[in-house]
Amino acid sequence: MYIHKDKPVIGITTGDLNGIGPELIIKTFSDNRILDLCIPVIFASNKVLNFYRKLVADAPFNFSSTKDLSNLHPKQVNVFTCWDEEVPIQPGNLTEHGGKYAVRSLMVATQCLKDGQLDAIVTAPIHKANTQSADFPYTGHTPFLKEKFGAKDVVMLLYNNALKVALVTEHIPVAQVAQSITKELLISKLAILKDSLVKDFGIDKPKIAVLGLNPHAGDGGQIGNEDQNIIKPAIDALQQQGQLVYGPYSADAFFARASYTAFDAVLAMYHDQGLIPFKTLAHGEGVNYTAGLPVVRTSPDHGTAFDIAGKDLADPSSFREAVFQAIDLVRQRAEYAANTANPMRRGRIEKEKENSTSEKME
């Protein structure tokens, strides 16, 4: 099922070297129990990890270095050496080196994932101000991974146990949101979201809520016409196909009344519309997932947090959960693939369950 016997191999990128990424990695993998669930491979250098290990109190973090992913230690944290040179580390500062080596870690890990040497990757936060360049012309991880894996479209999905929020538009100026939303784009995003809920989360018939763009979902066209002329027709078209898609809902009332509890996922029109309520409700334990890729990639739901970097203050909860979710998503995908590859086997299993239930009732 997995590349390395019975445990998935999870690649970990360092993120900005001056942000909280290295600290989160050290705190997460200082708990050896996680090694029972996966084989972690950190894409970095020994020197970076040793630098931050000294700054984190009471962290029994140990690792084994390698330059060969075919020779991983199954019961240790593995560090795949991406560079040997000395790199200046300045916690809390936005520097050229911090972004350059964050990109190198990401590039190497992604190529290993594409080559089938990893089962999934978990990415620590990067900062757009020092990563964008001629060699990395992307606004973040999501568009980079979309191009790297040749995906026609992807969806940024943040979730925890109680709520899943997907975005139509991501990191673009608010002034460009309305003109970016089309019926075709909405149908594409909803198709990817539905497919992910089925394959990645095991929800056979997902029920999805769609938020409106304007206040009060346009108030019947009194506050903008996008809700009436673009969003509603897209929803109607999918409902005619038998899909459980509803809306558009006024975003403020939808979250204030906890209407999200009646749905498997919510599609928001733009970044802050969906992520402000999500992060408020997730209490720092949310996970970011790129739906629509042929591979599994997760990340924490926060940024580089330069203000607390190097101070041993970073909370690893979201990053740790991103690792756990990567493991679960790999397993769920494998289970889905096995079940759908052999419909007769799946039918036989369901029949056996029915017979077992009948016998118990008798």
Evaluate if residue 240 carries a pLDDT over 80. yes
pLDDT at 8: 96
- Read off the pLDDT of each residue in 218-246 and give the average, rounded to a whole number: 94
Q: 54 or 348, which is more confident?
A: 54
pTM, two decimals, is 0.89
Asked whether the beta carbons of 263 and 208 are under 8 A apart, the reply is yes
- Read off the pLDDT of each residue in 32-43 and give the average, rounded to a whole number: 96
Beta bridge partners of 244: 207
Q: 59-96 pLDDT, tens per residue?
A: 899 999 998 998 899 999 999 999 999 999 999 999 99
3-state helix, strand, coil split of the chain in percent (to 5) is: 45, 15, 35
pLDDT at 150: 95
Q: Which of 286, 265, 311, 279 is nearest to 56 (CA)?
A: 311
- Read off the pLDDT of each residue in 41-45 and give the average, rounded to a whole number: 97
What is the rounded (10 degree) CA torsion for 259, 260, 262, 265? 150
pLDDT at 24: 97
- Read off the pLDDT of each residue in 35-53 and give the average, rounded to a whole number: 96
CATH topology (fold) of 156-285: Isopropylmalate Dehydrogenase (3.40.718)
Interatomic CA distance for residues 159 and 173, integer angstroms: 23
Spacing of C-alpha 71 from chain mean position: 28
pLDDT at 259: 96
1-151+293-362 CATH, one of 1.10.3720.10, 3.40.50.410, 3.40.50.12500, 3.40.718.10: 3.40.718.10
Evaluate if residue 4 carries a pLDDT over 90. no
- Read off the pLDDT of each residue in 321-335 and give the average, rounded to a whole number: 96
Q: What is the mean pLDDT of the chain?
A: 92
Q: Which helix (H) or strand (E) holds 44?
A: strand 39-44
**How buried is 78 (Cβ within 10 angstroms: 0-12 exposed, 13-18 middle, 19+ buried)?**
buried
For CATH 3.40.718.10, the residue range(s) in the chain are 1-151+293-362, 156-285
* 177 backbone dihedrals φ, ψ, rounded to 5°: -65, -55
Asked whether the beta carbons of 314 and 96 are under 8 A apart, the reply is no
Q: 195-204 pLDDT, tens per residue?
A: 999 999 999 9
